[in-house]
Structure 1
């Protein structure tokens, strides 16, 4: 049985050497990481450091200056906007008053037009009635003359 165990052990060693590449892969990974770090150097650290310096510069120099400029610009702009809003509000009030006045005038004009129209219709009706009365009386007289 010792020979069977030796054969199994030998097959295990052969199998391990042929198919188990963990040790070699581990070594390759270490080599790759070392080469990668060596090539990159401290570039990432330097970039982060530059970014921090730029942020501090913006925070201490540019930000307060921009806030001050914004306030200096926005305050007069807000005043102008308020003036324009006031002017627009006044214009709207005037327009509403004008519209109300126009509606009242239109109503008066339309009432006057209606009265004029009704008077004209009454006059024309009277003319037609008078003409009809004249023709009727003429017809009656003609008829009466014929019958005699």
Structure 2
């Protein structure tokens, strides 16, 4: 039984070393707190006081200077922005007008090309019909010529056979 308890004790030790991270995490937390408190000391408090002093200075003197400069320069800036906006609007209007003009020219060119294409197709169709008709005519002429030649040959053979 003693060996069974020894095995259980060994299994518990192995389990705790593998899966129980509390001691390791506790040591890490203690180390982090110690480092944080020791290394930083009153640095943050000193920085906060310096920031507070700077903000107080800015609030007193710089804020009034900034407000005065804003009152002087902001109306001029607003006027310049208004001029820039009107120029941009004019450019946009010119661009849209130019786009409309270009689109009109493109549409006109397309319609002219469509008309030219229709004329071309009509002319080609007419030429093809003429060629087809001439071909049929020539075919008929050749048939007639062969028929006449055949008739002559046949009539000569008849004459020769009767003679």
Smaller-chain TM-score range?
A: 0.5 to 0.7
Q: Which residue is equivalent to 1:126?
A: 133
So what's the TM-score if we normalise by structure 1?
Answer: 0.62
1:107-146 to 2 correspondences below 5 Å? 107-146=114-153
Paired residue secondary structure (2:111) = helix
Instruction: Measure how far apart 1:56 and its partner are.
Output: 3.5
Aligned residues: 112
Instruction: Measure how far apart 1:69 and its partner are.
Output: 2.9
Q: Which residue is equivalent to 2:77?
A: 70
Instruction: Measure how far apart 1:99 and its partner are.
Output: 2.2
**Correspondence 1:104 to 2:111:** yes
So what's the TM-score if we normalise by structure 2?
Answer: 0.57
Structure 1 residues 82-136: Cα deviation after superposition (integer angstroms, max 9, x where no partner): 2112211211221222222222212221121121111111111122112111111
Structure 1 residue ranges (4+ consecutive) displaced by more than 6 angstroms after TM superposition: none
Unaligned runs of 5+ in 1: 1-31
* 2:65 maps to which of 57, 60, 64: 57
